[in-house]
Amino acid sequence: MKRTLIISLLAVAFLAACNSKKQTEPDDTPTSGVIAIAADESLAPIMQEEIAVFESIYKEAGIVPRYSGETETINRLLHDSTWLAVTTRTLTQEETAYMNQKKLFPKAVRVATDAIALIINRQNRDSLIGMPALKDILTGKIRSWDELSARNPAMPVEVVFDNPNSSTVRYAIDSICGGEKLSGHLQAEQSNRAVLDYVSKTPGALGIIGVNWVSNPVDSTSMSFIDNIRVMAVSRYREATSANSFKPYQAYIALGDYPMTRPVYLILSEPRMGLASGFTSFVAGDRGQRIILKSGLLPATQPLRIVNIK
């Protein structure tokens, strides 16, 4: 009787262990299952397109994007909330070392080049701006539109970002202001869609936003933007003219004429070939790159054909 009881207890323990293993083992494959990914909210439109096409091809796959600012996106990857993060920077040495200590060896795959767009209200007559003047606006040296040009009305420049912890803010500090502190008069609206709404309603607003939020989705030539706002042409020089200023069109991004661009990465830390790896391969592959090409961003590998129209 005692021996039978021991055998029964061992059998129960074995079955419990098997069930526990089944619950913890991942059940996704490169083309099936459901996972969450972390993504920079400034890249939401292009990622929605990629996810929609991927799921239409692989019917048993589900990608759940969690959009947020850059800081939270990276933190979700570092703290095991996801195996995949979509960002505009690679991990720092400290972040990489932290991941390596956990035996998770992150790989950054560059999939596109994005651009930062400057958007203004349609009532604003000033459509050109130089990078030095933009820096002066962001650091508080220029506060009114008439300081940029005498033809502008004397109304405040109301600079609006998407999120205090966004990649756009980091780009403004690092790449536009050269590390200088941003003015305390700038404001954040918490999302790119809110920036668009604010600029469309505010005559003196200057929105700083990812270009895929303003690209015209029905224009296959990638040479137009949505029509409820205006997109400024940007010059590398203080005196912006129509000859030295460029809008963030795909061709000008490719040629290096547009001065505010940044890379887009998929950072993968998945320790096995699961759905995160499958989705990364898709975005970096031919089909995913063609989606990026049509979005107005510059794909990392898909060739871009530029035609001069006289």
CB 255 within 8 A of CB 246: no
What is residue 187's DSSP assignment? E
Which among 197, 168, 199 has a CA at the least distance from the CA of 89?
168
CB 163 within 8 A of CB 69: yes
Is 80 exceeded by the pLDDT of residue 34?
A: yes
Residue 23, both tokens: 């619950």
The alpha carbon dihedral of 102, 107, 112, 117 has a sign of: positive
CB 157 within 8 A of CB 143: yes
**Domains defined for the chain, CATH in brackets:** 28-113+262-299 (3.40.190.10), 114-261 (3.40.190.10)
- Burial of residue 75 (number of CB atoms within 10 Å: 0-12, 13-18, 19+): middle
Q: Considering the chain, what is the average pLDDT of its residues?
A: 89
The alpha carbon dihedral of 230, 186, 142, 202 has a sign of: positive
Reported confidence tier of residue 152, pLDDT bands at 50, 70, 90: confident
Q: Which amino acid belongs to residue 105?
A: F
pLDDT at 186: 93
Whose structure tokens read 């083992």? 25
Give the Cα separation of 175 and 182 in Å (integer): 12
Reported confidence tier of residue 205, pLDDT bands at 50, 70, 90: very high
Weakest-pLDDT range from 20-29, 32-41, 47-56, 193-202:
20-29
pLDDT at 301: 87
pTM: 0.86
Cβ neighbors of 181 (< 8 A, separation 6 or more) are 139, 173
Is 60 exceeded by the pLDDT of residue 1?
A: no
Residue 225, both tokens: 């933007």
Reported confidence tier of residue 281, pLDDT bands at 50, 70, 90: very high
Is 60 exceeded by the pLDDT of residue 105?
A: yes
How much of the chain, in percent, has pLDDT values that exceed 90? 77
Whose structure tokens read 């913890």? 24
Q: Which amino acid belongs to residue 100?
A: N
Do strands 298-299 and 261-268 pair parallel, antiparallel, or not at all (unpaired)? unpaired
Reported confidence tier of residue 204, pLDDT bands at 50, 70, 90: very high
pLDDT at 48: 97
Rounded mean pLDDT, 31-38:
97
How much of the chain, in percent, has pLDDT values that exceed 70? 86
Weakest-pLDDT range from 31-40, 147-156, 231-240, 290-299:
147-156
pLDDT at 305: 59
pLDDT at 64: 97
Is 60 exceeded by the pLDDT of residue 2?
A: no
CB atoms within 10 A of CB 284: 18
Rounded mean pLDDT, 33-46:
96
Residue 107, both tokens: 């790989």
